[in-house]
Every structure is written in structure tokens, then in C-alpha cells.
Amino acid sequence: MRREVPVDDYLRALDAELTLRFPASEPTEVDTIYFGGGTPSRLGGEGLARAIEIVTRRFAPARGAEVTVEANPDDMEAAALRAWRAAGVNRLSIGSQSFDDTVLAWMHRTHDANAIERAVHAARDAGITNLSLDLIFALPEALNRDFERDVERALALAPDHISLYGLTVEPATPLGRWVAAGKEMEQPEEGYEREYLAAHGLLTSAGFEHYEVSNYARRGRRAAHNSAYWAAVPYVGLGPSAHEFDGETRRWNARAWTAWQQRLHEGQDPLEGAETLTPDNRVAEQVYLGLRSDSGLRVGPDESRLVTAWVEAGWAILAPDGFLRCTADGWLRLDSLAAALTHHRSRYYI
């Protein structure tokens, strides 16, 4: 049973946050707007259209701007899609996750595989043709999930973009408790790597560019909004648990919906925390963000010897322009690669 969404309460609080934090009367032009990080499609056709109107009153999309909504397949009804398109939405990130009904039931998803196909067709009929599908991999082996078949089913729908996310087990989640109790078994690292590389092969063979650890796109269809994150471009965050970066400081809102709404009802900033980046933070972010996309990371002459082992192992390519770019095998080892370079730079460059 899906809970009722307090649409009007949410929209009032969103309007209040914008008014409180950005009181300037003249709108600021932006290149991307992204409604996500939760389930914005649950606002429905009219509700989401109103949310877009509230946001664009203060942050106006530039000509050709990307306006994305994360959507569940079962929220993508024809009337809602038409309302979103009329409000300016031109890209959808669809939370498909799998085309295996057993897997979807295990994940407590409220849609089945057929709903994904219906949603894709309905979006195109409504005039939203820039579509991304999410798939999750490295599920427990006991589910007997055929991940390659899922990738093939996704490709058959001809999306412009596909995002792959490996299942992670967090201690405070139901899955974490099941694993701790021995009721579920995590996918071993070998299985994680096998599924990731198999998907990489299928997607690149189909003409997709692997441009970031988890993301593949057809030429010209890379996600502009997420690419801005990876380039450390400043961005505004609104809503419960939203994060924001102004180039120097990161801030994040109260996580719980009730706390966020209550603070705004009382005329208070819903800020929960903030941090100003230190020199060490900047080094770590520069290295990690550079290595996680195909833009790569420029390495100095003194670092060439440090990265030789990665290149020889096939984990990275050092181009003549001095940029180090990870291969698919390297992205599986991103954390260790980034840690080594960060340690080197923190010792010698600060």
C-alpha cells in the first residue's frame, strides 16, 4: 500500500524555503534543474507541475536547459506526463531497477516489468524522449537474477542513457539486518565485478559511451545535471535532505520531512549542517571527481611513476596530454586508486 502524499503541504514548504533563502526578485538563469533524490513523481501531474512553477519563478531555465524528473514507472500515467512536459520537463530518469518480477517484488517495488515498457512508451507519446533507465546489480545470488538479460531488456527499449548501481548493504537497513542475521548473503566481489563488466560490454557494444563510473549514454545524451556535480560546479539544493555547494561550502537540509517542514513553518532555515572545504578536502575531491569520469585527472611528471602500476594492470590509461583515465576495470578499484593519489598530493602539494 502506497502512503498518501501531502502534496499541498510539500509545495507550501518548498515555496517558503525559496522565499526565505533566495529573496531576490529577479530570477537567476540556470542550465539544469533536477527533481530527484526521492520520489518527486509521487507529486502527480499537477503537483509536480506546480513544484516546477515554484522553482522556476526563482531559477529560470536557460535556453536549451535540461529539466529532469526522477520517476517511478507506475507514476508515469499519460495525463501526468503531459502535465510535466507542458511544465518544461524534457528528461526522465526512470527507476526501473530490474525487468525480473521476482527481483522487483524482493525489492518491494510497486511496479512490474511490463510497467516499465508502458512507462517508456507513454513518455514518448507525451513528447518526453530523453529517457534514462536505472538498473541495480550485485543482488544476492539466491534470487537467481540474470543481470545480462535485464541489460538486454533495457537496451530493447532504446533509452538514451542507462545508470548502473551496485547494491550496497547498509547496517541500519532491513537488508543489513537480514545479512547480519544470516538470512541473506551479499553478492561476493567476484560476482559484483562479473556483472559490472558484462553490462559494460553489452552497453558499449550497443554504442553507449561509458562516461562515468555508473553511467552510460548515447552520444550527446550525457546527463548535464550530474556531470555538473562531477565537475564540482556550484548547485542549489532544496527540500528534505537536499545538499548544496557554492564552490566553497557544502550545506545540507534536515533529513526528515517533518523536521524540514516544521522549521520552514516557523520561518527558520531548514539547515542541518554545513562544512567549508579544507585544502585536504579539495585535494581528495579533485582526485576522486577527476578519476570517476572519462574527463580524467591531469597528473604531474612526478606522479607518472606512481600511476605506472595502474596502467600496466589495465586499470587506467595515461594519455599523451597527461590525463589519467580509468578503464572499466579501474573504476571497480576507484577508491583505492583515488586514495593513493590523494595521499601523494596531500603530502607534497599542500
How much is the average pLDDT of 318-333? 95
Distances (CA, A) of 65 to 90, 108, 166: 9, 34, 30
d(CA 291, CA 300): 15
Residue 3's pLDDT band (cuts 50, 70, 90): low
Specify the pLDDT at position 25: 75
Which DSSP category does 70 fall into?
Answer: E
Describe the chain by its helix, strand, coil percentages, rounded to 5.
45, 20, 30
Whether the model pTM is above 0.85: yes
Which DSSP category does 90 fall into?
Answer: -
User: Reduced to 3 states, what is the DSSP secondary structure of residue 135?
Assistant: strand
* Closest to 263 (Cα-Cα) out of 246, 239, 245: 239
Does CATH number 3.40.50.620 belong to domain 23-230? no
How does the average pLDDT of the chain come out, rounded?
A: 92
Which tens digit of pLDDT belongs to each residue from 28-63?
999 999 999 878 999 999 999 999 999 999 999 999
User: Reduced to 3 states, what is the DSSP secondary structure of residue 241?
Assistant: coil
Specify the pLDDT at position 191: 92
Q: Evaluate whether 267 touches 306 at the Cβ level (below 8 Å).
A: no
d(CA 148, CA 137): 10
Residue 303's pLDDT band (cuts 50, 70, 90): confident
User: Reduced to 3 states, what is the DSSP secondary structure of residue 320?
Assistant: coil
Residue 146's pLDDT band (cuts 50, 70, 90): very high
Residue 350 predicted with pLDDT over 90: no
Start-to-end C-alpha separation, the chain: 54
Q: For residue 71, what is the enclosing H or E element?
A: strand 59-71
Write out the residue limits of the CATH 1.10.10 domain(s) in the chain. Answer: 279-348
Which DSSP category does 338 fall into?
Answer: H
Residue 152: how many other CB atoms lie within 10 Å: 14
Which tens digit of pLDDT belongs to each residue from 149-186?
999 999 999 999 999 999 876 666 555 565 566 666 66
* Closest to 39 (Cα-Cα) out of 10, 9, 8: 10
Specify the pLDDT at position 1: 40
Residue 293: how many other CB atoms lie within 10 Å: 22
Does CATH number 1.10.10 belong to domain 279-348? yes
Residue 47: how many other CB atoms lie within 10 Å: 19
Which tens digit of pLDDT belongs to each residue from 224-248?
999 998 899 999 999 999 999 999 9
Backbone phi, psi, residue 123, to 5°: -60, -45
Task: State the amino acid at position 313 in one-letter form.
Answer: A
Distances (CA, A) of 235 to 242, 244, 246: 11, 6, 6
Place of cell 517495488: 109
d(CA 136, CA 130): 20
Of residues 94 and 345, the one with the higher pLDDT is 94
How much is the average pLDDT of 262-287? 95
Specify the pLDDT at position 177: 60
d(CA 145, CA 230): 31
